[in-house]
Amino acid sequence: MAAPAIDTTLAPRSEAPVKPRKTYLNADYSVSSWLLTVDHKRIAILYLVSILVFFFLGGLFAAGVRLELLTPKGDLLQADTYNKFFTMHGIIMVFFFLVPSIPATLGNFLVPMMIGARDLAFPRVNLLSWYIFILGGAFTLVAVVGGGVDTGWTFYTPYSTTYSTSNVMPAAIGIFITGFSSILTGLNFIVTIHRMRAPGLTWFRLPLFIWAHYATSLIFVLGTPVIAITIFLVGLERGLHIGIFDPALGGDPVLFQHLFWFYSHPAVYIMILPGMGVVSEIITCFARKPIFGYSFIALSSVAIAVLGFVVWGHHLFTSSQSVYAALIFSVLSYVVAIPSAVKVFNWIATLYRGAISFEAPMLYALGFIGLFTIGGLTGLFVAAVGFDLHVHDTYFVVAHFHYIMVGGAVLAFLGGLHFWWPKMFGRMYPEAWAKVAAIIVFIGFNLTFFPQFILGYLGMPRRYHAYPDEFQVLNVLSTAGASILAVGYLMPFCYLLWSLKYGALAPANPWQASGLEWLTPSPPPTENFAETPIVTEDPYHYGTDDDAEAVHVA
């Protein structure tokens, strides 16, 4: 594809001063116009800034963990401090970065635009969800500043309710509150996708990004209330000694794990499904081919969302869950691999004989496919009861879910951010830098987490600050990889900020992509579309005669 041309409609044609086009960014510059905005695009930006702050904070805790593990002895951090570091890393990354990462930023920005709507169905509820997120985040930060939490992000009882002396309450309240921001976002997406589609935009003409977000929203709505009530009960037991889960008070701690994972396993799909939506958009665009097996990818998103609710027991194989239940959950866990594999096969079939070009978003998307596949296949390992007994609570599990959450979700987030950056801010990012960063992230990620598969298989348990000497080589490799990964994260942060002022002006559709969001100017006006678009064809008309012409002209 040719270098993106400067949008002639934006450039002044004569010396006479030209009034700049009204966009959602320059509509008003006051602080209150941002903090009280009901524009889904501005709320997306608010979310973007907030989750990046949390990502940075969670990254600092990860850095502490990796630095401690550089040497076998517990020298940098004491055991207690180390417990708090991995706990805060988990809580912040899961609840305050990964869960809202793609839906609340790219989703908020793009869901209305992709379906030809002027906003989400409930704009004020959307703003409310951001404030709830910030309030929940504030409680969690209080927990951090007040000395941290040491329960692990899973809050297992009775340790969390009875024995831990750390700041469990503020963190639990923070997570309880933040849950409602997820619920409101999910509710808003479901209603918007059902009720606000442009004329002619039938369900099977929707972009796969929308399907993925619809499936994600189902999990938000069905799962999040359960974690809310569970955390609420933990709060009751810890704060008021009302016995629910503590065996000393007659309760069953395994029941807590059931309720917790009823949400928290589907939450993994909250993190990965939007990423799958992003990757579907990027792959088909840069392969210049219509997506292969559109309806299979679309429906597999819904299948993953539904099946995701029946597999949670595989987290309880060693928690004195009955072997019969373990058997059921193990089998069901294998079933959820089917729709995931359907997606991977379809992406690969889309690439086959495509006119592939390797822009930065495509590099991230290809990285996603490889890393998600490794993460998913090792997921099958640990879904087998026998193997899981061996590697449970070892670094094998840590590596497995980081391949999904970082190799999958974070790479998709970065890919999507690059892909839609021109649309969001009207500026191109520097392509060469972006490609280098994408490659550094890929290398750094693998160097960090692949050794952890071996460590876990050899028996190194997770959540300890010290380890036997023979594990040191692999741990040093992992920490070295983490520092490379950090560079890979900091690079986009710098050049994306730089591009806001110095990047080339972006045309309306720099990638010659299909989709309604590319019909608007970059950045879009507040009302998105001057006129409601009317959709007359299926999505992804890549590789057709029209498309070839468009690429040629560009």
CB nearer to other proteins: pick between 249 and 476? 249
Instruction: Please give the Cα distance from 554 to 549 (Å, whole number).
Output: 9
For the bound state, the minimum distance from the C-beta of residue 242 to other proteins, rounded and expressed in Å, comes to: 5
**Binding region for other proteins (CB under 8 A) out of 50-58, 245-253, 408-416, 508-516:** 245-253
* Cα dihedral sign, 290-293-294-297: negative
Residue 224 near other proteins by CB under 8 A? yes
Residue 103 near other proteins by CB under 8 A? no
- Compute φ and ψ for 533, nearest 5 degrees: -70, 155
Tell me the residue length of the chain. 554
CB nearer to other proteins: pick between 132 and 363? 132
For the bound state, the minimum distance from the C-beta of residue 322 to other proteins, rounded and expressed in Å, comes to: 4
CB nearer to other proteins: pick between 52 and 254? 254
Helix axes of 123-145 and 168-195: crossing angle, nearest 10 degrees:
160
Q: Segment 511-540, which members bind other proteins (CB under 8 A)? A: 527, 532
Tokens of 120: 């989400």
- Compute φ and ψ for 165, nearest 5 degrees: -105, 10
Q: Map residues 160-199 to x or -, x wherever contact with other proteins holds by CB under 8 A.
A: -----------------------x---xx-xxx-xxx---
CB-CB neighbours of 537 under 10 Å: 10
The correct pick among 109, 153, 262, 286 for binding other proteins (CB under 8 A) is 262
The correct pick among 28, 70, 80, 118 for binding other proteins (CB under 8 A) is 118
Residue 324 near other proteins by CB under 8 A? yes
**Binding region for other proteins (CB under 8 A) out of 52-60, 251-259, 381-389, 399-407:** 251-259
CB nearer to other proteins: pick between 187 and 412? 187
Residue (of 468, 470, 476) closest to 451 by Cα position: 476
**Binding region for other proteins (CB under 8 A) out of 55-63, 257-265, 344-352, 435-443:** 257-265
Q: Are 453 and 529 in contact (CB under 8 A)?
A: no
The correct pick among 322, 335, 353, 468 for binding other proteins (CB under 8 A) is 322
Instruction: Please give the Cα distance from 311 to 330 (Å, whole number).
Output: 7
CB nearer to other proteins: pick between 169 and 363? 169
CB nearer to other proteins: pick between 24 and 85? 24
| Preceding amide of 523 cis, omega within 30 | yes
SS3 category, 121:
coil
User: What are the CA-CA distances from residue 217 to residues 166, 170, 281 (Å)?
Assistant: 33, 27, 19
Residue 123 near other proteins by CB under 8 A? yes
| Preceding amide of 207 cis, omega within 30 | no
For the bound state, the minimum distance from the C-beta of residue 469 to other proteins, rounded and expressed in Å, comes to: 33
Residue 310 near other proteins by CB under 8 A? yes
For the bound state, the minimum distance from the C-beta of residue 395 to other proteins, rounded and expressed in Å, comes to: 25
Q: Are 14 and 86 in contact (CB under 8 A)?
A: no
Tokens of 269: 């799909």
Alpha helices (runs of H) in 393-527, residue ranges in sequence order: 395-404, 411-425, 431-458, 472-502
Contact residues for other proteins, defined by CB under 8 A: 117-123, 125, 183, 187-188, 190-192, 194-196, 221-226, 228-230, 232-233, 236, 240-244, 249-252, 254-255, 258-259, 262, 309-310, 312-313, 316, 320-325, 328-329, 527, 532
